[in-house]
A and B are shown apart, each in its own frame.
Chain A
């Protein structure tokens, strides 16, 4: 018996690597759900000077587990007058887009296995930025179909509100993307992260180069994920619970799962574009790998540890954005619907267009070699 199979160089190929990455991405996104549940509930309690759920397990840490068990064993009721196929399909449509959109996200540098460099990214496409936006724009279908299939006026109102809100804010996102493409000169997310690698110098990340686009895109992310202060589709005081009024048990749980995974995917997108992605400040991938090589580790192990550290750095950046999501939710009140539309069309869109024009002029003169 040989132990050859323990050495990944003997069996690693692109297909196996992509499969491993798919498992990692799915596990990564699902792990965020219980973490965010406890952060949201305990975090809100902390902000409002309450105790929050603190009875299940040590410091209430097992609360998400009991929540999940409760949801799975509750009856998933389907209203008699609902459109059955679409009613069941809508929660699935809520979960799918965040998982698909994460495949283009560069999660780390590359791992050297048997002399081949395997990029820590499931699908390296040269239009990654557009791919992410196109897949996340499909999220609106889950809300629309849920609202319509429930055969409930409140649900339909919630679905319509959500769709018009998402379409409006997607326009501002598109304008921000234009100025970003002009800044970086590429649509490739991996390339963008590489451009933000500055080694020992001060990390000049995207949010320093494009502060206005950063703020506008960040605000739009809140609207796209239907989080407060933009959660009018489920405004309790007007619409009971909006598009998921009729959903119970795990069908509702899947909407929640979709919301949190969408938040993670959007946070990863923001971190990749503006916070240097997986880059660790003040070290490059090569220098980090060299440190571990100097310790006498093999090339595979050294690159693996480097990628793990970079991935941890990306997770820290994502957590920053996730915490701000929670922070804003328990700080700001909900907008009125006309205020929401005014903010999207009369504030963010003109600011985005002005920013794009300024970026165009600056890029033109920089390319010519003199400002």
Chain B
């Protein structure tokens, strides 16, 4: 059974929303990056309050603990100054951005609302989170049996991305090859 949100969940939800707004409204890139970490962390807390301990821990470990560190790290190295004006006086751009945001919000709601209406699905969600005693085992069994191919494909994709970054990072090597290739014919 899914009960209405508790006081704690309301508080965590408000923190999540506030820090998420700070990400896009903050003038300072570092403040934005740190509030992104806060958003990730409070989302993890939300999972905890729903009883999904494993998902919550993974959320904090990977998103709040690892990915946000890398984002902050890069922003610090770039030494960005606080932004004074976002986009100088272009009303249509703002309107387009608002429209795109609204469209994304509607799409997200459309995908979630059927779940909210369907009480059976909610019940399933509730029991799945309540029987968290076997959660890591269940998730790993699913990952290594039913979702084996997508799981491996993601790993390959990440590997390709890493190799791409290495190649792009070695600017001299690429440019040298291009110039050498151009000279050959």
Contacts and interface: CB of A to CB of B under 8 A. Distances in A.
A148 B75 CA distance: 10
A222 to B, nearest CB: 19
Interface string A136-152: 01101100110110000
Interface string B29-64: 011001001000100100000000110011011001
Interface string A150-172: 00000010011001100100100
Interface stretch (B85-93, B105-113, B131-139, B157-165): B131-139
Question: In terms of DSSP, what is the predominant structure of the interface of chain A?
Answer: helix
A283 interface: no
Nearest to B70: A167
A131 B76 contact: no
B132 A144 contact: no
Contacts of A147: 76
Contacts of A133: 61
Given A163-B69, A167-B69, A86 B61 contact: no
How many residues of B sit at the interface, in one of the four size bands?
20 to 34
Nearest to A136: B65
Nearest to A187: B136
A298 interface: no
Contact of A86 (B34, B69, B70): B34
Nearest to B132: A126
A105 to B, nearest CB: 15
Contact of B133 (A126, A140, A145): A126
A130 B31 contact: no
A134 interface: yes
A299 interface: no
B48 to A, nearest CB: 8
Contact of A141 (B60, B69, B135): B69
A23 B42 CA distance: 24
Nearest to B41: A138
A309 interface: no
Interface string A120-134: 000001110011011
B58 A130 contact: yes
B15 interface: no
Interface string A175-193: 0000000000001000000
Contacts of A167: 66, 69-70
Contacts of A148: 30, 76
A131 B45 CA distance: 11
Interface in B129-158: 132-133, 135-136
A313 to B, nearest CB: 28
B28 interface: yes
Given A159-B76, A187-B136, A127 B69 contact: no
Contacts of B37: 141
A141 B31 CA distance: 12
A135 interface: yes
A138 B59 CA distance: 12
A83 interface: yes
A130 B73 contact: no
B69 A144 contact: yes
A160 B65 CA distance: 15
A248 B41 CA distance: 29
Contacts of B95: none
B71 to A, nearest CB: 11
Contacts of B30: 83, 86, 145, 148
A135 B65 CA distance: 8
A134 B60 contact: yes
A144 B57 contact: no
Given A86-B31, A144-B72, A127 B60 contact: no
Contacts of A83: 28, 30
Contacts of B53: 125-127, 131
Contact of A137 (B66, B70, B133): B66
A15 to B, nearest CB: 13
A127 B57 contact: yes
B61 A134 contact: yes
Contact of B57 (A86, A130, A156, A164): A130
Nearest to A147: B76
Contacts of B133: 126
A86 B33 CA distance: 12
Contacts of A126: 53-54, 132-133, 135-136
13 contacts: A86-B31, A126-B136, A134-B60, A134-B61, A140-B69, A141-B34, A141-B69, A144-B73, A145-B30, A148-B30, A160-B73, A167-B66, A170-B65
Q: Which A-B residue pairs are the 4 nearest by beta carbons?
A: A137-B65, A134-B61, A134-B60, A130-B57
Given A134-B57, A170-B65, 4 more contacts: A86-B31, A127-B54, A156-B76, A163-B72
